[in-house]
Amino acid sequence: MTSIPDYKIKSNIMNNLYKNFKIAVVGATGNVGREMLNILAERGFPLENVTALASERSVGHEVSYGEEGILKVQNLDLYNFKGTHIALFSPGASVSAVYVPKATTAGCVVIDNTSHFRMDPDVPLVIPEINPEAIADYKKRNTIANPNCSTIQLAMVLKPLHDFAKIKRVVASTYQSVSGAGKEAMDELFNQTRALFVNDAIESHCFPKQIAFNAIPHVDMFLPDGQTKEEWKMTVEIKKIIDPSISVTATCVRIPVFIGHAVSANIEFHDPITPKDARKKLQVFPGISVIDDPAENRYITPVECTGDDAVFVSRIRADKTIQNGLNVWIVADNVRKGAALNAIQIAQILMKNFF
């Protein structure tokens, strides 16, 4: 199994290790793209080795790189990926469908954050803490897919528990922040909230219903069988990443929170497992932080996870209505670990072990 790099390595050492790698961030003006640039800066990637790319309408705009750095956005349509080692894509699935093949044909390895390649059998779907060995399969298409944000935080919790007691079935309910739908969705929540306080008309453009002070059981498009595409993604991605024998059903809900997704998961196991067993396994799993003391009101909410790398687990308890059942509450920054950070962790493994 490929080892996971030390992500807390000092910036000057990171600069030395990665100084020869050229990286492009596609979709650099979006929520995830900006966070990718922030994390690259945090981890010591030299500014001069990073290119910010977006559509023609964003060309010339400036985006921050760390506390002091600035990058000017270049035109994706005109960019030559030859000589760029890794491209981090987060521009939307339709854009990735067109430009990822252009990048890979030029010899660039793409880590794509959109849904377009996730279920392609020749493209590995990777969470570094779970299946880093799958990264080696990037050579088939020069492409690695980043899972869906809600899938990442759920899978991070399921994996160590599945290794201990083998999971039979998962019933997941998500509470997803508006940042998952982009900057315009965040603006819509802000504008609707302000409008309600001053008695202005409520305008909805990003969501089918009012999002301010509301909950909408509708994330992504509806499919013919009645589930949404977001719910379908969680089902099939968990199977691809962890184990195809796990049955997953989900209800995905958009809530009026700016950043941070939450998942309430009911997990049924084949083998006996107690809350104590679960805490023990989760506490030692990389990237997981267990905050679980109900008597002291110690549990994590979306507000508290913002800007943090960890996936937080709280309210671990037995489900007494079934044999071998647990309930857990899972929270993570969907823009960070749910997207940008996961992609950069993959990039770091690529640079350390495959170039």
pLDDT in tens, 161-178: 999 999 999 999 999 999
Percent of the chain with pLDDT over 90: 93
Whether the pLDDT of residue 244 is over 90: the answer is yes
Per-residue pLDDT, averaged over 9-20, amounts to 59
Distance CA 243, CA 266 (A): 17
Whether the pLDDT of residue 233 is over 70: the answer is yes
Note whether 69 and 47 are within 8 A (CB): yes
Q: Is 73 helix (H, G, I), strand (E, B) or coil?
A: coil
pLDDT in tens, 304-354: 999 999 999 999 999 999 999 999 999 999 999 999 999 999 999 999 999
Whether the pLDDT of residue 3 is over 50: the answer is no
Whether the pLDDT of residue 13 is over 80: the answer is no
Distance CA 50, CA 60 (A): 15
For residue 12, report the phi and psi dihedrals to the nearest 5 degrees: -70, -35
pLDDT in tens, 336-345: 999 999 999 9
DSSP-derived letter for residue 97 is H
Whether the pLDDT of residue 10 is over 60: the answer is no
Would you state the pLDDT for residue 14?
53
pLDDT in tens, 124-154: 999 999 999 999 999 999 999 999 999 999 9
Distance CA 134, CA 2 (A): 9
116 is an active site residue: no
Whether the pLDDT of residue 5 is over 50: the answer is no
Neighbours of 155 (CB within 10 A): 26
Distance CA 22, CA 227 (A): 41
What CATH homologous superfamily does 11-146+339-353 map to?
Answer: NAD(P)-binding Rossmann-like Domain (3.40.50.720)
Neighbours of 130 (CB within 10 A): 21
Would you state the pLDDT for residue 15?
58
205 is an active site residue: no
The two three-digit tokens of residue 103, written as one number = 């990048």
Would you state the pLDDT for residue 68?
84
pTM of the model: 0.94
Active-site residue identified among 85, 116, 162, 261: 261
The CATH fold of domain 150-334: Dihydrodipicolinate Reductase; domain 2 (3.30.360)
| Domain chopping of the chain, boundaries | 11-146+339-353, 150-334
Would you state the pLDDT for residue 60?
93
The secondary structure of 136-167 as a DSSP string is GGGGGTTEEEPPPHHHHHHHHHHHHHHHHH-E
Distance CA 235, CA 225 (A): 14
Per-residue pLDDT, averaged over 9-17, amounts to 52
Active-site residue identified among 108, 149, 252, 305: 149
Are 11-146+339-353 and 150-334 equal in CATH topology? no
Whether the pLDDT of residue 67 is over 60: the answer is yes
Percent of the chain with pLDDT over 70: 95
For the chain, give the mean pLDDT.
94
Would you state the pLDDT for residue 16?
63
